Chains A and B, each alone.
Chain A
Amino acid sequence: MPTSGLIITLQPGSATQADAVGRLRARPELTLGEVSDRWLPVALETRDDAESREVYDWLMALPGVAFVDVVSVNFEPTLSLQLHPSP
């Protein structure tokens, strides 16, 4: 279950910014921080890498989002990767 810290660079213009932030807020996997200037820090929790990628692509395509930077990623071992699965 990866947990990532992202910085979302928003497009300038208060209307588009507000629009984008609204849409971001609607995604349950995102936890939003405080918008500062054009940047919005968020935490992202996903099931797996594929989902992370999906959310990343969604973010990049979102109107009002100029760029997404990945600041940190934390990988938790998933069940299938446990070293000694019980028989």
Chain B
Amino acid sequence: MNLPRREFLRASALAAASAVVAQRTGAADATTSPAPSPADGIAWDKAPCRFCGTGCHVRVGVKDGKVVAIQGDQLAEVNKGLLCVKGYHVGLALYGKDRLTTPLLRKNGKLEPISWDEALDTIAKRVMAAPDKFAIYGSGQWTIPEGYAANKLMKGGLSNNHIDPNARLCMASAVTGYLSTYGVDEPAGCYDDLDACDVLILWGNNMAEMHPVLFSRVIDRRTRGQKVTLIDIGTRRTRTTEFSDHYLEFKPQSDLAILNGIAHLLLKNGTYDAKFVERFCNFRQDTAAASLLGDAMTFDAYKAALEPYTPEYVEKISGVPAEKIRLLGELFGRKDIRITSVWCMGFNQHSRGTNANRLCHGIHLLSGHFGKHGDAPTSLTGQPSACGTAREVGTMCHFLPGGRLIANAEHRAETERIWNVPPGRINPKMGHHTVLLWEKFCTPTAQGGDISTVWVQVTNPGQSLPNLHKLFKAKRGLPDKFLIVSEVYPTATTELADLVLPSAMWVEKNGMFGNSERRTQQWFKMVNPPGEARDDCWQTIAVARKLFELGHPGLKDKEDKFLFTFKNAAGTEVPAWDWKHYYDVNVDRALFEEYRAFSRYKHKDLAPYDEYVKARGLRWPVVQQASGAWRETKFRFAEFDDSYVKRGAGIQFYHSVTKDDKALIWFAPYEKAAEEPDADFPFWLCTGRVLEHWHTGTMTMRIPQLSGAMPHAYVEMHSADATERSIANGETILVRTRRGQLRLPVWTNGRGHVPRGSLFVPFFDQRLLVNDLTLGEPDPISKEPDYKKCAATVVKLGAGRLNSV
């Protein structure tokens, strides 16, 4: 083909494309919220998915005031138009037939409808009667403004730090892992690492079911001809295993030994990154008691501590063949490949969860597999705003917003300044963490149960707490204990509630979430909540107003003004506590702009609210450029991307615990689990999730497509173990632990495959509460319970009974 002809073709192709673009320009910006099309009457708007921590964006189709369709949002970088089966059906979560639509008060043992005013009065009076015995138990599903309002009410208003989220049960150990390694919480990398890594290591993480969109992001690279090696390190075979190149099955708790085995090999083979370690790392361990920051140790002491963890020794503990440990050691020793580690509840719900997190960061730092796209240790979260709300807003009993600590006087003072409350308003004493909070609530007041009223928002502790008999069900019959639950459906928690408040959910309200990769997301209310259901954030503000009216001094700021005062664009105060006027002003925007002032201290800079309106989420730190544009950050601490790193530093851990811009590599020994199988209880019992259901199933069990696909819980058992006991597939057996017992149908050779001597039960089914059985041994540092390990036994019921259909 001659050149002029090619030039001509190229020019005409470009001209054709340019002509179309010229036509398009001037058309409305795709990021602004749409109006309905006359053709089909559907208005589309963006929202992050309601369910997990991945943070996919969906497009919500609304017609005649109802959600009628969902699409994956192609403009969203997280999911690029793809969703999972839960995401595609997220719109149905609003329309379960038994939505709660009116406040209910327990009278003579029965929940009876009452007015909102009576409900708010009831709460306010209980708080006034015993302000220090009141607690709020929140959630990683709280929107950012909801969590912020609750946090401010408790810590800034009531001088009461008894506020903790269910995220304590979910990622507290990830937080302590990050804090004790980098001095600041949350991953350095982001999902882009999944696109760039050569090796992806899944640590006790069934990503194919729990974070399917992210999993597809990795395995779809193979379909495009790229090579990515998946290594599944787990305690049972799952759908993830099917896609993995290597499967390393370890005995529960021995992940600690495997991690040490890798570090041992890096040192032994001399393949650790000496330069990286020298420039960017110090060493740490817990010498006496377990603590967040531990004690310094020398490199030589670190080496000596790892000396015993030979591949053979690790094999003995973990059951993983020594050559597989060598394979991991060799991979981490290679400089020519990029390794990303991901984990979720396997590391976090672990009686040594903080140590598991620390050791995983440690092998990445020791080997220098850090600070480049694809070279990162990244924790995944289970809830849509565990990061955005629980961690960043700091709705935990020891945190203040923006990574500040209650224990730190300067942090308290600064928080009081931003909240414009008098000095000393914030109580310097840490509140009760989740497990303690519920223990105190379930203990009679006379015996030291110093929590008498708990207000639960956006979560279901009656199903998700471990050891439910002790931590939740013991409330039954305690006369002076009062449980308030803001909910959308009847749940295991509302069963014991004294007051139930009907809530708006997801696109029935304005909201903001923060996902696993530091991405802050925003959405607008699109449909009205049913009946008298109202926003959780409004509920908090309305109760605060009642307290203000009853004369509680804490609800006033320094100028005697109500703590939650909002002004509209004209500068007029809007009584947002009055539901009729709640949407006269964008309360989310006002609260977020106030909260934003907290975000700089730990370099978690947030952009103005309006930037999030335009974007499909932005990853903090979002730094304003000279041009005025807001730039998000994909890799923190790395010079190539993080504008807070000094020029020429390469890597700078600017919140270093040791104040020398270095991260900490920890040593922590392998330790046995709190309860291991024995002669009486010969099985390991592990709990977890399934693809179709989200956490306690209150939403997904009401979506026919999802409950149809997975209608009930089961116990997974090895077929040989079942055969030995003459147990048939589908047969109902009794699973028993030292804490309780539960009848469950057996599923052998089903979706997951446990090894011999192990059981697995999903926790989504409110009729089959596996948390009646779990031990929930907490990590000593993070106080996060272990749901993955306890000892159990099985009992065959009624010999000869025919159980199959």
A4 to chain B, nearest CB (A): 6
Q: Which chain B residues border A57 with CB–CB below 8 Å?
A: 224
Q: Cβ of B1 and Cβ of A42 under 8 Å apart? A: no
Q: Which chain B residues border A15 with CB–CB below 8 Å?
A: 625, 629, 631-632
How far apart sit A6 and B629, CA to CA, in the bound complex (Å)? 28
Q: Which chain B residues border A14 with CB–CB below 8 Å?
A: 627, 629
How far apart sit A61 and B218, CA to CA, in the bound complex (Å)? 12
Once A12-B614, A37-B24, A71-B20 are accepted as A-B contacts, the answer to whether A5 and B13 lie under 8 Å apart by CB is yes
Q: Cβ of B224 and Cβ of A61 under 8 Å apart? A: yes
Q: Cβ of B25 and Cβ of A71 under 8 Å apart? A: no
The interface size bin for chain A is 20 to 34
B14 at the interface (CB under 8 A from A): yes
Q: Which A52-67 residues have a C-beta within 8 angstroms of B?
A: 57, 61, 63, 66-67
How far apart sit A3 and B10, CA to CA, in the bound complex (Å)? 6
Q: Cβ of B25 and Cβ of A76 under 8 Å apart? A: no
Q: Which chain A residues border B18 with CB–CB below 8 Å?
A: 33-34, 41
Q: Which chain B residues border A11 with CB–CB below 8 Å?
A: 75, 77
B313 to chain A, nearest CB (A): 43
Q: Cβ of A67 and Cβ of B21 under 8 Å apart? A: no
Other-chain contact of A5, B16, B614, B630 (Cβ < 8 Å): B16
Q: Which B458-476 residues have a C-beta within 8 angstroms of A?
A: none
A22 at the interface (CB under 8 A from B): no
How far apart sit A41 and B17, CA to CA, in the bound complex (Å)? 5
How far apart sit A40 and B25, CA to CA, in the bound complex (Å)? 11
Q: Which chain A residues border B30 with CB–CB below 8 Å?
A: 12, 38
Q: Cβ of B74 and Cβ of A66 under 8 Å apart? A: yes
Q: Cβ of A5 and Cβ of B14 under 8 Å apart? A: yes
A86 to chain B, nearest CB (A): 18
Q: Which residue of A lies closest to B24 (CB)?
A: A39
Q: Which chain B residues border A82 with CB–CB below 8 Å?
A: none
Instruction: Kindly supply a per-residue 1/0 record for chain B positions 10-48, scoring 1 wherever the CB is within 8 Å of any chain A CB and 0 otherwise.
Output: 111111111011101110011100000000000000000
How far apart sit A39 and B224, CA to CA, in the bound complex (Å)? 25
The interface size bin for chain B is 35 or more
Other-chain contact of A39, B12, B25, B625 (Cβ < 8 Å): B25
Instruction: Kindly supply a per-residue 1/0 record for chain B positions 318-329, scoring 1 wherever the CB is within 8 Å of any chain A CB and 0 otherwise.
Output: 000000000000
Other-chain contact of A1, B1, B11, B15 (Cβ < 8 Å): B1
Q: Cβ of A31 and Cβ of B21 under 8 Å apart? A: no
Q: Which chain B residues border A41 with CB–CB below 8 Å?
A: 14, 17-18, 20-21
Q: Cβ of A36 and Cβ of B16 under 8 Å apart? A: no
How far apart sit A61 and B30, CA to CA, in the bound complex (Å)? 20
Q: Cβ of A43 and Cβ of B614 under 8 Å apart? A: no
Most A CB within 10 A of own CB, among B10, B11, B15, B77: B10
B527 at the interface (CB under 8 A from A): no
A55 to chain B, nearest CB (A): 12
How far apart sit A22 and B21, CA to CA, in the bound complex (Å)? 19
Q: Which chain A residues border B31 with CB–CB below 8 Å?
A: 12
B9 at the interface (CB under 8 A from A): yes
Q: Which chain A residues border B110 with CB–CB below 8 Å?
A: none
Q: Cβ of A43 and Cβ of B13 under 8 Å apart? A: yes
Q: Cβ of B6 and Cβ of A3 under 8 Å apart? A: yes
B615 at the interface (CB under 8 A from A): yes
A80 at the interface (CB under 8 A from B): no
Q: Which chain B residues border A33 with CB–CB below 8 Å?
A: 14, 17-18, 21
B192 at the interface (CB under 8 A from A): yes
Q: Which residue of A lies closest to B226 (CB)?
A: A61
A11 to chain B, nearest CB (A): 7
Once A43-B14, A67-B74 are accepted as A-B contacts, the answer to whether A74 and B21 lie under 8 Å apart by CB is no
Q: Cβ of A36 and Cβ of B9 under 8 Å apart? A: no
Most B CB within 10 A of own CB, among A7, A31, A39, A45: A39
Instruction: Kindly supply a per-residue 1/0 record for chain B positions 591-630, scoring 1 wherever the CB is within 8 Å of any chain A CB and 0 otherwise.
Output: 0000000000000000000000011000000000101011
Q: Cβ of B615 and Cβ of A5 under 8 Å apart? A: no
A13 at the interface (CB under 8 A from B): yes
Other-chain contact of A63, B13, B21, B192 (Cβ < 8 Å): B192
Most A CB within 10 A of own CB, among B6, B18, B192, B632: B18
Q: Cβ of B24 and Cβ of A3 under 8 Å apart? A: no
Once A14-B629, A38-B30, A71-B16 are accepted as A-B contacts, the answer to whether A43 and B10 lie under 8 Å apart by CB is yes
B312 to chain A, nearest CB (A): 43
Q: Cβ of A43 and Cβ of B192 under 8 Å apart? A: no
Q: Cβ of A42 and Cβ of B14 under 8 Å apart? A: yes
How far apart sit A74 and B519, CA to CA, in the bound complex (Å)? 42
Q: Which residue of B lies closest to A7 (CB)?
A: B17
Once A14-B629, A67-B74, A76-B1 are accepted as A-B contacts, the answer to whether A39 and B21 lie under 8 Å apart by CB is yes
How far apart sit A43 and B259, CA to CA, in the bound complex (Å)? 50
Q: Which residue of A lies closest to B224 (CB)?
A: A57
Q: Which residue of B lies closest to A32 (CB)?
A: B14
Q: Which chain A residues border B29 with CB–CB below 8 Å?
A: 12, 37-38
Q: Which chain A residues border B192 with CB–CB below 8 Å?
A: 63
Q: Which residue of A lies closest to B221 (CB)?
A: A61
9 residue pairs, one from A and one from B, having the closest CB atoms: A41-B17, A5-B13, A5-B17, A43-B14, A43-B13, A3-B9, A41-B18, A5-B16, A39-B21
Taking Cβ atoms with an 8 Å cutoff, the residues of A that contact B are 1, 3-7, 11-15, 31, 33-34, 36-45, 57, 61, 63, 66-67, 69, 71-72, 74, 76
List 17 additional contacts besides A5-B14, A39-B21, A63-B192; criterion CB under 8 Å.
A5-B12, A6-B17, A7-B17, A7-B20, A12-B29, A12-B30, A12-B75, A34-B18, A37-B21, A37-B29, A38-B29, A43-B11, A43-B17, A63-B77, A66-B74, A71-B13, A72-B17
> What are 8 contact pairs spanning A and B, CB under 8 A?
A12-B30, A12-B75, A15-B631, A31-B10, A36-B22, A38-B29, A45-B9, A72-B12
